[in-house]
Chain A
Amino acid sequence: DIVMTQSPTSMSISVGDRVTMNCKASQNVGSNVDWYQQKTGQSPKLLIYKASNRYTGVPDRFTGSGSGTDFTFTISNMQAEDLAVYYCMQSNSYPNTFGAGTKLELK
């Protein structure tokens, strides 16, 4: 199985910060990576698909980039409502696999 290693595990941030997190695949997954946001007690929500495409209705402060084995997810201007756990997922080969998540907390 492809292992998706997310870093950091958690981040203490302030409103207005630029936030960057990473996801590294154990083998080449092309651009077949999606990013999800999960708030406490809620279902995950799709933010970015195919590495860099913003899903419908997602604010443009959320961006994704990367290909191959290294992927980056950025929030350009952190808002309080962005506090959540963020997951990457690869769908290049079965089984689909998720990273362990990056939790954003207020400083």
Chain B
Amino acid sequence: QVQLQQSGTELVKPASSVKISCKASGYTFTSNYMHWIRQQPGNGLEWIGWIYPGNGNTKYNQKFDGKATLTADKSSSTAYMQLSSLTSEDSAVYFCARSRYYDGYYHVAYWGQGTLVTVSS
């Protein structure tokens, strides 16, 4: 079965960077889009972007241009998101989530458990 295992909680300092991971199993990693979504404390969901691990193509929400960088390692079936120049506004839970293609339609169907990033001095 599809599983997305994310890395653990991060406590990081302002102005630093953090790289969180999402290890995929149970499917062909290179053939499915991987999305990243942010959820700030007590807030709703924001779409950050996706990466297609098969060729490394990415699509970002302009709001996260320069903030988030998505990469993927085919050898380990792991997707990564690096967040840079962190501020308190970046404190959130970050989810990776895999697309599913069915009936001519892509939709985000499988979610990781989330990674809590707290930015504090």
Using a Cβ–Cβ cut-off of 8 Å, how many residues does chain A contribute to the interface with B? 22
User: What CA separation (Å) do A44 and B35 show in the bound complex?
Assistant: 13
Binding site for A on B (CB under 8 A): 35, 44-47, 49, 59, 61-63, 95, 97, 102-103, 105-109, 111-114
Interface contacts (Cβ under 8 Å), in number, total 54
User: What CA separation (Å) do A98 and B38 show in the bound complex?
Assistant: 11
Given A43-B95, A43-B114, answer yes or no on A91-B106 (Cβ-Cβ < 8 Å): yes
A:24-58 near B, CB below 8 Å:
32, 34, 36, 43-46, 49-50, 53, 55
User: What CA separation (Å) do A32 and B109 show in the bound complex?
Assistant: 14
Residue of A with least CB distance to B105: A50
User: What CA separation (Å) do A87 and B47 show in the bound complex?
Assistant: 13
User: What CA separation (Å) do A95 and B45 show in the bound complex?
Assistant: 12
Residue of B with least CB distance to A43: B111
Give the distance to chain A from B59, nearest Cβ to Cβ, in Å: 6
Residue of B with least CB distance to A50: B105
A-B contact pairs, 30 of them (CB 8 A): A32-B105, A34-B107, A34-B108, A43-B95, A43-B97, A43-B111, A43-B114, A44-B45, A45-B111, A49-B107, A50-B105, A50-B107, A53-B103, A55-B109, A87-B45, A89-B45, A89-B47, A91-B107, A91-B108, A94-B61, A95-B47, A95-B61, A95-B63, A96-B35, A96-B61, A97-B47, A98-B45, A98-B47, A100-B44, A101-B44
